[in-house]
């Protein structure tokens, strides 16, 4: 197994996606080091078999303590709140941009064999064509997307003598462990919680806006697949200095999500419509074919399967 016996660093490893990745890496035989600014509650959720370093990726000492001896690094830590990034652009620039660029440079100096960056579909901005491919113009609408785009560009312009690295552009990730009470949670976790408790939902706009929902297990699979290619082939890997969309390729409206939950629970939810939010992108869905063709990755969890899993765990 590729990961057995390796030391792997996961920034943001106590978070929603990161925790799933940590579990998968441990199951594959890796020694895992988590760097996260997590609360005591989230720290308790990090498996005892992983080493947890509590600290910010913006702290060079914390990065050095956690990641200096790693064979591979998965970089997921970020300020995820778009609103907070807008309100404090200096903080966003410090954490989401500069700390990430510093970490990338340090990974190259220390000889890391694979660096996988959690980029975002937010870097595309308002879609100019659908589905969105990796060649779509990079025109982020807000600070969060702009800072992600800066790191994404730094990775996709790396040379063959630099750290083996890739940028994975996540679309709308959902799955078990996503806190529906968090301001960062997506509509799937919120709608599922409401369906489970018999509550209604509020949809901003007509509900026909489209999104691309991808299950967290498929996201973890994409990260692992990309990391394995980099570890095996170094900068000769087709993943090196290459961006990939991580998405389902399926077009889903918010009303589709409600209808699927209604069908599963046999208890139709009350839907209230509110005015559309200013600046919200109406349609956004991606094309995963480049990742499928290049690294033989396939999204496996359908929306109905993912929603059933979420409901079963509530």
Residues carrying an active site annotation: 144
**How many other CB atoms are found less than 10 A from the CB of residue 237?**
22
* CB-CB neighbours of 50 under 10 Å: 20
Angle, CA of 287, 122 and 166, to the nearest 5°: 65
Burial class (CB in 10 A: 0-12, 13-18, 19+), 210: middle
The CA-to-CA distance between both ends of the chain, in Å, stands at 34
DSSP-based three-state secondary structure for 192: helix
Nearest to 122 by CA among 148, 96, 102: 148
Helix axes 100-110, 143-156, angle to 10 degrees: 20
Question: Which of 120, 99, 139 lies closest to 212, judged by CA?
Answer: 120
Taking the C-alpha atoms of residue 280 and residue 49, their distance in angstroms, rounded to an integer, is 41
């Amino acid at each position: 197994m590729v990961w057995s016996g390796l030391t792997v660093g996961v920034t943001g490893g106590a978070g929603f996606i990161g925790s799933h990745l940590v579990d998968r890496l441990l199951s594959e035989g890796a020694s895992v080091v988590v760097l996260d600014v997590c609360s005591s509650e989230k720290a308790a959720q990090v498996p005892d078999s992983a080493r947890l370093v509590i600290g910010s990726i913006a702290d060079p000492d914390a990065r050095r303590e956690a990641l200096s001896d790693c064979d591979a690094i998965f970089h997921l830590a970020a300020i995820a709140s778009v609103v907070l990034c807008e309100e404090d652009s200096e903080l966003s620039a410090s954490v989401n941009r500069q700390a990430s660029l510093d970490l990338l440079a340090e990974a190259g100096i220390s000889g890391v064999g694979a660096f996988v960056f959690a980029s975002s579909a937010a870097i595309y901005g308002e879609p100019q064509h659908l589905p969105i491919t990796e060649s779509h113009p990079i025109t982020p609408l807000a600070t969060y997307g702009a800072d992600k785009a800066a790191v994404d560009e730094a990775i996709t312009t790396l040379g063959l003598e630099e750290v083996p690295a890739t940028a994975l552009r996540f679309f709308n990730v959902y799955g078990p462990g996503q806190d529906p009470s968090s301001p960062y949670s997506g509509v799937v976790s919120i709608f599922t919680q409401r369906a489970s408790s018999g509550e209604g939902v509020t949809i901003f706009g007509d509900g026909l806006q489209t999104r691309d929902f991808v299950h967290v297990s498929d996201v973890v699979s994409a990260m692992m697949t990309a990391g394995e290619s980099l570890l095996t082939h170094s900068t000769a890997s087709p993943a090196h200095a290459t961006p990939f969309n991580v998405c389902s390729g399926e077009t889903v409206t918010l009303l589709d999500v409600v209808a699927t939950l209604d069908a599963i629970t046999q208890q139709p939810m009350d839907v209230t419509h509110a005015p559309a939010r200013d600046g919200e992108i109406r349609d956004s869905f991606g094309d995963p074919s480049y990742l499928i063709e290049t690294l033989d990755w396939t999204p496996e969890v359908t929306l109905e399967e993912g929603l059933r899993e979420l409901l079963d765990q509530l």
